[in-house]
Amino acid sequence: MKQTAVQKAITMVRSRIESQNDTLMGKHTAHHLQQVERDLYDLLEQEKEQMKDAFLNIEYYTPFDSHLAFEEYYKEVYESE
């Protein structure tokens, strides 16, 4: 599966959270990284909308067909099973 830039950032943050040790500072850092991860999920939705807008601007699709085609494309390429 391909990943968008934001999906890659989420993976990196999640990996960093998992690598934090059990010290107080590690827990504090993990808490902040969890907030960053939540914010990245919001950005992922924005990124998807931007991709959709670009996809819908392709002239050879009708608006209805392009919406359905984009949803199918995005799920196939960027969403995990």
24-56 and 5-19 helices cross at what angle (nearest 10)? 170
Closest Cα to residue 10, out of 29, 31, 27, 35? 35
Strand (E) positions, the chain? none
pTM: 0.64
- 4-45 tens-digit pLDDT: 999 999 999 988 888 776 666 777 788 889 999 999 999 999
Q: Where are the domains of the chain?
A: 5-78
